[in-house]
Amino acid sequence: MRLSLTLKTIGASLLIASTAIGAGMLALPLASASIGFPAAFLLMMIMWSFMICSALFTFEINLRYGSAQSIAYLAKRVLGRFWHIISFASIVILFYALLAAYISGGASSLTSSLGQTPLENIVSDFSISGWQIIFTLLGCIALIFPASGTDYINRFFFIFKLGFFILLISTLFPLIKSENLLISIPFDFSKTSPYWLAIPVFFTAFGFHGSIPAIVKYIGPHPKHTRLAIISGSLFPILFYTLWELCSLGTIPMIGDNSFATLIGQKGELGLFIDTLSQMSEQGQLIFYVNFFTFFTIITSFLAVGMGLHDFFKEFLTNFKIKQTHFLALLMTVSVPLFVSLLYPDAFVHALAFAAVALSFLAVIIPSMLVLKMRHSHPYGENTKYRYQVFGSSFMPKFLMLFGIGIIIAEVYNLLY
């Protein structure tokens, strides 16, 4: 029993890490080049501290309610219909945007990765639309299984992701130049401060909150183990992001032909960023490491986000007493993102700009409101075994609400200016 619970805790922490560490990680150096590594690291730690606190709020309200439920369900039961609509829309928009991006990016990464293997001849046998369908089917096969099955598959992919990340970092680390880390270049952002642009990017980099109800349901009513899984899982992104920032900002110069100044001038296109990074080393295997690390990063994020949305739709369908909720929820999870990525390959690129706004409601504002109300309306009973309350009394949730509103203001400002 204890061994099984420990293994579940490890698996849950990896699922949380996989949800956070997605393809957006590749954009972190582009967002932070103008503020420099020291400021980027400080911003990253600030965002992590706020997001881990809001994640523990989400865990607390699930315990207080007595069962693992989505934010949308709890908002409906506790806050009323209006906030239920806001939370429901936030979850669907955020997860659909992420899944569509993962399908598009995953298909491209899959073809690039296979192009580095003896299977390179089959890459041209399918169009990019065909590879998008293949990538989605690979994800569906994993999501068909119960949560425990998806967890084991995710662990398998996570090991590969970790392996290629170690190879990638070990290749780039000797190339780091300390002078690159201590300077930042003031690019022309049309009156927009680079800090305003970096804040939403780093905020969404720690967005794993939608998967917490599935994690609570998977581990069971064990507060210590669930809390450990959430905190330890969130530490993986800090390690990954810090090393990635060090190697990227430390190897690519700030000015010159192959520099961040050139990349920003070309609107920070990720493909160009990867090509520029590959040119920093004379070792030909670097592009191989980058492609496979990108693929396993995307597929693990697809599974983690897909698991969260699949669980959300199963809960939604159960309320209407619909049978065969597992397969119908799976169809609802993948069909819309696949359709959008096939019909409009770049449509969700713009939608991702709103991800920070949706995540602010889903991960910060609504959980803080629920905590404030449920600490009075849903007090714990006499059984202290399953109790858990985040520190800070009523000050912390109120402060987090202001933080979430600040993120929305930053993103709206970026979109307008």
pLDDT tens, position by position, 188-230: 555 567 788 888 888 988 988 877 888 888 887 778 888 899 9
Residue numbers of the domain that contains 231 = 2-416
Average pLDDT, the chain: 81
Percent above pLDDT 90 for the chain? 17
Mean pLDDT of 234-251: 91
For residue 120, pLDDT beyond 50 = yes
| pLDDT the model gives residue 254 | 80
- Measured N-to-C along each axis, helices 147-172 and 128-144 cross at an angle, to the nearest 10 degrees, of 130
Question: Any idea which of 25-39, 146-160, 335-349 has the lowest mean pLDDT?
Answer: 335-349
Number of domains in the chain: 1
Q: Which residue has the higher pLDDT, 276 or 62?
A: 62
Summarize pLDDT for 259-309 with one digit per residue, the tens: 777 777 665 556 667 777 777 777 677 878 887 888 888 888 888 788 878
Question: Any idea which of 74-88, 242-256, 262-276 has the lowest mean pLDDT?
Answer: 262-276
| pLDDT the model gives residue 382 | 46
| pLDDT the model gives residue 2 | 63
| pLDDT the model gives residue 230 | 92
| pLDDT the model gives residue 214 | 82
| pLDDT the model gives residue 117 | 66
Confidence class of residue 187 from pLDDT cuts 50, 70 and 90? low
| pLDDT the model gives residue 177 | 87
Mean pLDDT of 114-129: 67
For residue 105, pLDDT beyond 80 = no
| pLDDT the model gives residue 402 | 95
Mean pLDDT of 180-190: 68
Q: Which residue has the higher pLDDT, 402 or 265?
A: 402
- Residue 376 is part of a domain; what is its CATH number? 1.20.1740.10
Confidence class of residue 151 from pLDDT cuts 50, 70 and 90? confident
| pLDDT the model gives residue 185 | 67
Confidence class of residue 34 from pLDDT cuts 50, 70 and 90? confident
| pLDDT the model gives residue 398 | 92
Question: Any idea which of 155-164, 340-349, 378-387, 401-410 has the lowest mean pLDDT?
Answer: 378-387
| pLDDT the model gives residue 231 | 92
| pLDDT the model gives residue 116 | 63
Summarize pLDDT for 315-367 with one digit per residue, the tens: 788 877 777 778 888 899 999 989 988 887 655 555 566 678 889 998 999 99
Residues 6+ apart with CB under 8 A from 93: 351, 354, 358
For residue 383, pLDDT beyond 50 = no
Summarize pLDDT for 337-346 with one digit per residue, the tens: 899 888 876 5
| pLDDT the model gives residue 261 | 76
Mean pLDDT of 163-188: 83
Q: Which residue has the higher pLDDT, 232 or 195?
A: 232
Q: Which residue has the higher pLDDT, 389 or 121?
A: 389
Q: Which residue has the higher pLDDT, 24 or 181?
A: 181
| pLDDT the model gives residue 45 | 95
